Structure 1
Amino acid sequence: MKNHRELGSFLQVLLLCSMISPAAGEELRIGTNADWDAWQRPGNAIEISRGKAGPRFVRRNIDAVANAGDFGGGIRAAGSNSGDAGNLIDGSLSSFWAPDWDDDPENMYVEIDLGRVVSARRVILQLREDGPPLELFQVLLSNGERFFDSTGLPLPSIVRYSDRVRYSFNKQRELVIEYGLKPLQFIRIEVDLPTVGAGISSIAVEAVGDNISLGMRERGGQVDILNEIGTRAEGYESTGNSNALIDGDIVSSWRYWGFSQPGDTEFTFDLGALYWVDRVRILGDLAGIAPSNVDWRWTRRNAIHFPWYILWGSDGSLAPDGSLRWQVLGELPEHPRNLRDIGHFEEQFSLQPLRYLRMRYPNRQCCITGTTAEFQVFGEGYPAGTILQSPIYDLGAVRNATGLSWQVEAPERTRVEIRSRTGNLLQESYVFHDKNGKEVTERKYNKLIPSFKGRIDTVRSPGDDWSIWSQAYERSDRGFLSPTPRRFVQLQAYLLSDDPMQRAVLDELVLSYAEPLAAATRAEIYPIQAQPGQRTEFTYYLGWDSGAGSTGFDQLLMRSGADIELGEIRSAGQVLDAEIIPVDGGWDITFADPFVRTGLIEFDFASTIYRQQMPFEAFLASGREERQVRQRVDVGDASDAVASEAIAVSLPVGPTLIDGLSVSAALVTPNGDGIGDFLQIGFSLLNVLQPRLLHVALYDLSGREVRVLHDQRQTAGPITLSWDGQDEFGQLAAPGNYILRVVVQGDAQTQKTAKIIALAY
């Protein structure tokens, strides 16, 4: 019988140990091209390669032929030997194109499409080194303008070549056509005289750089055109109209039809990411307006550009009223020649990070004003700020996310900010498409006949119970900051750089998760308000529910930015036996007996609060050292005894940053006798969340600074200083009255306070 009891006790202990042992953890690992492709990202601002994701470099002085294919360009047509036409743009000098010399001379041509209009400096042709140089030919250049029909509509398939360069008896192998930053999209080469053995190896177009405007909407950016500002007709243009500014097509353009009461027009561009920018070009080509028409008012002779304009930029930082902070980047003074004599406008400025651009100009009632074919933006370097957001990851069941670790490449002056959010509920919406893949409304979709209906996509988004984005993780593998346990997780990465030549790159993210220690948790504190700088006693209530799959816990970790003086810890009216160890930022509490069933813990503590919404966070834990599993405790209704449902303590609302300035005596007597030799100074710094400059000094009555006691950045908390009666040079100050002045630079204002101090011997 005794053996049976011992065996039963052993099994109970074994069962209890298994219940509180940390469950084997699982991992969600993100580190392949396919993984990163699933993340939402700002279009062409991010590149994914070799399992890594990072910002894409914006180039200056590019060859616009080399990446024409990225914009749908390439060989547009070849009248002869079309199979070799691609050799012109393959980047190799060893291959070449030449027409079939037996073909009709009218077919000895080739056309290249850059895929978008560029601001071109020069066009460079490299002729074949082997064999004779091509002798008699011509190069035709076009900005993309088309011919128009009799109704004034452009003919899409017929390009108008406005520039022509002829070569006769040519002997050179490299030919350079200076183009003066004019718009260019199409190049046509026509061979006028067969030269057997000759050929063209390559063609290049030197352009200003990568046009950041292209792909703006795909990055999540947008263009807003606010028209007729200050009139009753003020309003925004449609997306279709505003797209004309950034589509890379010289034919599509925006203009104001000024036949009503005109007001100013304003363009606002969201680039979709924070870019390094130093140049804006505004192409005012009239290629999209018919040269003539039945109605003269709609023709080129009635179109003008900008009487004047102002261009602003913003990096996305906010003013105190919540609006964007803008700075002037350039302006066009009013002058008659602006209206017709200038077709291309440009502003250059120092290289700087910009997310937004804004331009304003006035309209005229008499004519077509503000014709803008393209708004081009240039710079150099990796974007200064880009955001990537993961899909919603399903952990399969409610799980305890225990840690988030990562591998990144972050050179000096770059950083990665990673955030998370969690929830248990999802919302589903549906996106309808026709048979061509075009998105349509549900109502229109239901009216389509079956053969015209396309796919229906189901879009999952966070539900009502999701947390907000967490604060940025400071270090890899230092716990999980969002509420847990939850079933769904979403991650966000912000890649930042203060150096345009450096970038941060994401290599791998690993989310660790396990079965929850408790199925649900809730915590609240009482009281939830305190007087600043005064010791206050609180009670903390922590409740939890056990459930299927929950493993239990035997540790409680308390963390706060304020001091914590722990008192009695109770559960079910009984004082708990626990080992309490002070750690940086709080206490680690280990209980003698583990908790495996639903319960409630209460404990008393005292603290002194110096800033608003000071949180006191709790974590359940099980296991030791590297095997320890933690679970963050949620905020909620833990006890019927109180109704705070909060774990953060607030202070009375007020603008005070410096509170309770006190000195040990109004008179300091540094005689060396041990009585009044030092002036003790104390005060509380309140509501200073980020380090701010705190300057404490003594001045004579003329305002001359005698001694600096403190001149460093400081956050909220108690401040204690002393003065020994000496000046900055280590000499005893002259007897008399002095002003003790305390100055702190807050977020919204600089606050000062002062006291009169007497010095005597």
Structure 2
Amino acid sequence: WPARGSRLDAGSYLSLSSVARSPYKGLPANLFGPQDGVSGGWSPWSAPLDFDEGAVEPDDTGGVPLSLPPLMRYVQFRVDFASTETSGVRLDYLEFDYARPLVGRGVLAEIFPATASALGQPLALQYVLRPTFETDATTGFNRIDIAVPATDTELDSFLLDGGRWQPLALTAPADPNLRSAWLDSVSVEDANTYTHAVYPGSQGTLTLGIKTATLTDADFPRGQDREIRIYLRTSLFTLLTRFQSWVWHDASTTIPQPTSAGNAANDLPSDGVAVVVAQSGGTVDTLTVTPNPFSPNGDGVNDDAAFDFSLMLFLEPARVELEFTTLAGTVVRRLEPVSRSVGRHELHWDGRDDGGRLVPPGLYIYRFTAFGDGDDETQMGVVAVAY
């Protein structure tokens, strides 16, 4: 292979040995992942990757995870160059980090139910994982990450082979941004115990992270079909939500191993990790104000009003605006517009006008608007200020 940092050209490719080139047309079909339900063949192309995110910094940080089928030996990549008359593009090198799987024969994942009746409503789910280790495997995992749609996702119970495990008597930080580091620092050594937290993931998604003592092939003997079954509650904000998951070990630098959707539980019919919502309403769930009335007098009790809302169906982050007027229509406060993705959110009003002065007691009309995807939605109501 050419030296790191050297320019790539046709000669570089031709200079590789036939083994290093691995022309895909000559590879056995069983080395490829399934495509469109047919055994053999390449998986579909991924969505375009962000070049700036993938660029590696001088300190060797950077890069983006690749959404590839697990346990595959080969990968195709394509680079599109966009040059102009006055500028050109040069690719210095591509670098791929990979690791041997912790679970040699993969991990099947399945969710149930696979359908929901409405957006924004609490939904009870079962999530099943079935790891299959190689015989006499020397590796294991102590972390399970599941992509979830809501920050208020709750884990009700964790079972291994039907036995209910006990959660540790620990409380995650109130700030979601601190929970990932907190979970990393927690020690889980006793068998049949676990702890968990919901926090922002590395790609702008939410993660339900679960930590246990190390699980190995001894916990999943071949031929016994043992499974991990997780009962959780969450809410959905898009018509199709995929609950992808990964297993990894926090004592090593191993890349998290993605699971594969399939028949992880013989008693469940879904064989997948996607949940589809049968009916959809508007893009904004009913907005609620708590408390109402509120008293911004600085005594630490009900000093501001919280405006809770859920955004649904937006493909891109929506711009959210909230303004307050008197009953006569005079604008007293416009909150700074914010950008929010689908999910449950909260805005606050401290009872002050745009000049920073407390407004007089009385009734005020609020106007909430979400702009995005060419489908704007506005909700209005009344909030009371009392002293």
| TM-score normalised according to structure 1 size | 0.37
Per-residue CA deviations over 1:130-184 (Å, capped at 9, x if unaligned) read xxxxxxxxxxxxxxxxxxxxxxxxxxxxxxxxxxxxxxxxxxxxxxxxxxxxxxx
Question: Which of 494, 499, 512 is the matching residue for 2:98?
Answer: 512
- Do the aligned partners of 2:370 and 2:376 also contact (CA within 8 Å) in 1? yes
Q: How many angstroms does 1:701 deviate by?
A: 4.2
- The number of residues matched between the two structures is 325
Structure 1 residue 491 corresponds to structure 2 residue 77: yes
1:586 corresponds to: 208
1:521 corresponds to: 107
% identity of equivalent residues: 23
Query: Structure 1 395/586 Cα, relative in aligned 2: closer, same or farther at 3 Å?
Result: farther
* Aligned residue type for 1:510: F
Structure 1 residues without counterparts, runs of 5 or longer: 1-28, 39-50, 52-389, 400-421, 427-461
Question: Could you tell me how far apart the structure 2 residues matched to 1:721 and 1:669 are?
Answer: 17
* Aligned residue type for 2:108: R
Question: Could you tell me how far apart the structure 1 residues matched to 2:299 and 2:63 are?
Answer: 56
Matches within 5 A, 1:301-700: 392=24, 423=33, 466-471=42-47, 472=49, 474-475=53-54, 476=62, 479-495=65-81, 501=87, 503=89, 505-510=91-96, 512=98, 514=100, 517-530=103-116, 531-546=118-133, 553-562=140-149, 563=151, 564-575=153-164, 577-580=192-195, 582=197, 584=201, 585-595=207-217, 597-598=221-222, 599=225, 600-621=227-248, 624-626=251-253, 628-670=254-296, 677-700=303-326
Structure 1 residue 730 corresponds to structure 2 residue 352: no
Question: Could you tell me how far apart the structure 2 residues matched to 1:676 and 1:569 are?
Answer: 37
1:45 corresponds to: none
Question: Which of 369, 372, 377 is the matching residue for 1:746?
Answer: 372
* Aligned residue type for 2:162: G
Question: Could you tell me how far apart the structure 2 residues matched to 1:499 and 1:703 are?
Answer: 55
Q: How many angstroms does 1:482 deviate by?
A: 0.9
Task: Name the SS for the 1:743 alignment partner.
Answer: strand
* Aligned residue type for 2:288: S
Q: How many angstroms does 1:617 deviate by?
A: 2.1
Question: Could you tell me how far apart the structure 1 residues matched to 2:280 and 2:108 are?
Answer: 30
Question: Could you tell me how far apart the structure 2 residues matched to 1:668 and 1:589 are?
Answer: 41
Question: Could you tell me how far apart the structure 2 residues matched to 1:424 and 1:696 are?
Answer: 48
1:707 corresponds to: 333
Query: Structure 1 640/733 Cα, relative in aligned 2: closer, same or farther at 3 Å?
Result: same
Question: Could you tell me how far apart the structure 1 residues matched to 2:83 and 2:325 are?
Answer: 42
- Do the aligned partners of 1:558 and 1:616 also contact (CA within 8 Å) in 2? no
Query: Structure 1 36/755 Cα, relative in aligned 2: closer, same or farther at 3 Å?
Result: farther
- Do the aligned partners of 2:307 and 2:346 also contact (CA within 8 Å) in 1? yes
Q: How many angstroms does 1:34 deviate by?
A: 3.7
Question: Could you tell me how far apart the structure 1 residues matched to 2:86 and 2:138 are?
Answer: 49
- Runs (4+) of structure 1 moved beyond 6 Å? 393-399, 497-500, 548-551
Per-residue CA deviations over 1:429-454 (Å, capped at 9, x if unaligned) read xxxxxxxxxxxxxxxxxxxxxxxxxx
- Do the aligned partners of 2:35 and 2:44 also contact (CA within 8 Å) in 1? no
Q: Compare the two structures and name the one with the higher strand fraction.
A: 1
Structure 2 residues without counterparts, runs of 5 or longer: 17-21, 55-61, 166-191, 202-206
Task: Name the SS for the 1:505 alignment partner.
Answer: coil
- Do the aligned partners of 1:423 and 1:488 also contact (CA within 8 Å) in 2? no
Query: Structure 1 484/669 Cα, relative in aligned 2: closer, same or farther at 3 Å?
Result: closer
User: Is the radius of gyration larger for structure 1 or structure 2?
Assistant: 1
* Aligned residue type for 1:640: N
Per-residue CA deviations over 1:574-616 (Å, capped at 9, x if unaligned) read 3462554646533143444412644322122233333343332
* Aligned residue type for 1:565: E
* Aligned residue type for 2:241: M
Q: How many angstroms does 1:35 deviate by?
A: 7.4
* Aligned residue type for 1:711: P
Task: Name the SS for the 1:697 alignment partner.
Answer: strand
RMSD: 4.1
Task: Name the SS for the 1:524 alignment partner.
Answer: strand
Question: Could you tell me how far apart the structure 2 residues matched to 1:641 and 1:654 are?
Answer: 29
Question: Could you tell me how far apart the structure 1 residues matched to 2:213 and 2:302 are?
Answer: 50
Task: Name the SS for the 2:282 alignment partner.
Answer: coil
Query: Structure 1 667/393 Cα, relative in aligned 2: closer, same or farther at 3 Å?
Result: farther
Task: Name the SS for the 1:738 alignment partner.
Answer: strand
* Aligned residue type for 1:568: S
Q: How many angstroms does 1:753 deviate by?
A: 1.1
Greater relative CO (CA pairs within 8 A, separation 6+)? 2
Task: Name the SS for the 1:519 alignment partner.
Answer: coil
Question: Could you tell me how far apart the structure 2 residues matched to 1:685 and 1:490 are?
Answer: 37
Q: How many angstroms does 1:682 deviate by?
A: 1.5
* Aligned residue type for 1:636: G
Q: How many angstroms does 1:731 deviate by?
A: 2.3
Per-residue CA deviations over 1:370-392 (Å, capped at 9, x if unaligned) read xxxxxxxxxxxxxxxxxxxx964
Q: How many angstroms does 1:706 deviate by?
A: 1.8
Question: Could you tell me how far apart the structure 2 residues matched to 1:499 and 1:753 are?
Answer: 50
Q: How many angstroms does 1:728 deviate by?
A: 0.3
- Do the aligned partners of 1:683 and 1:719 also contact (CA within 8 Å) in 2? yes
Query: Structure 1 612/565 Cα, relative in aligned 2: closer, same or farther at 3 Å?
Result: same
Q: How many angstroms does 1:712 deviate by?
A: 1.4
- Do the aligned partners of 1:695 and 1:743 also contact (CA within 8 Å) in 2? yes
Q: How many angstroms does 1:644 deviate by?
A: 1.6
1:18 corresponds to: none
